[in-house]
Amino acid sequence: MNDELILAIETSCDETSAAVVRNGRNVLSNIVSSQVESHKRFGGVVPEIASRHHVEQITIIVEEAMKEADVSFADLDAVAVTEGPGLVGALLIGVHAAKAIAFAHDLPLIGVHHIAGHIYANQLTMESFHFPAIALVVSGGHTELVYLKEHGAFEIIGETRDDAVGEAYDKVARTIGLPYPGGPHIDRLAAEGEPTISLPRAWLEPDSYDFSFSGLKSAVINTVHNYKQRNEQLPINDLAASFQASVIDVLVQKTKRAASEYEVKQIVLAGGVAANKGLRTALKDTFAECDVEVSIPPLHLCTDNAAMIGAAASLKLRTKQFSGYDLNGNPGIDLEQW
């Protein structure tokens, strides 16, 4: 097989990223420009500001990715871009850039589902997928259990009914005075505390693989208020540890039950919260005694990046599932119809 080179672009939220990926596995470049400092003072991502930063950065980042990969546009086989979900204004910057490049250089255009990208980030570091598999997707906007019967066949078997897990982390962090993004700070404090505070675990119906974190978030807020009303010092490390223990317990146990019911050969972790050390450790420990492989991407491939979009796009390139120039940002795109 001849080498297939894909230029991939990711602008779904607050990272502007471009990458060149060979054969869906080898990352020749993966440039990421983060906007965290711009959004930190607001306590979250401001869509208008995110879009403006993408406009300023996109051409620079694409040029840097091409230069680092040491390839020309004539060497490329396709241009891939995140089609959705995400912030519509942010998505449009990447989509229009990809369409312009594809048109100018007569290259196939491939729209990619952002979550498919997170799942296929695993392909960049592991030998191969082993089907059937379950993907645990955990990020600021998504919490899902996805059954994969084969490549590209996604079936969502469980999803959050309210807050995504990353969203819950950020809201709890804000409540206890931690800066945005809150997830890494809570993960760090949890490692220094003990889960001594009783907090709820939302298991929902016995056969459900859905998630719910709004009640847990409310319980943390009430706990903080109770300590303040009693004029007592808040045990912030223990509260972080208790919150994280509740989250991880539900995520891991539902994943374990799904793995058993669907008789899967592999668990893949995906999304920005996949960088959480507590979750990574718990997932590995839980499946250590099982005949189920656990794949977890390295930290730099957990958060939004274009290399993961290139990995997922390789599937569509090989089956010639190309997009037209009417491709648009689609915040509501369906993973199962990716």
Collect all residues with Cβ–Cβ distance below 8 Å to 112 and sequence separation of at least 6. Answer: 8, 80, 81, 82, 83, 309, 312, 313, 316, 338
Q: Which residues are annotated as a binding site for substrate?
A: 137-141, 170, 183, 187, 276
CA–CA distance, 328 with 230 (Å, rounded to integer): 53
Contacts 24+ apart (CB under 8 A), 52-59: 53/14, 53/16, 54/11, 54/16, 54/90, 54/93, 54/94, 55/93, 57/16, 57/33, 58/9, 58/11, 58/16, 58/18, 58/93, 58/94, 58/97, 59/97
Q: Which residues are annotated as a binding site for Fe cation?
A: 114, 118, 304
Q: Which residues are annotated as a binding site?
A: 114, 118, 137-141, 170, 183, 187, 276, 304
CA–CA distance, 333 with 315 (Å, rounded to integer): 18
CA–CA distance, 56 with 41 (Å, rounded to integer): 20
Collect all residues with Cβ–Cβ distance below 8 Å to 153 and sequence separation of at least 6. Answer: none
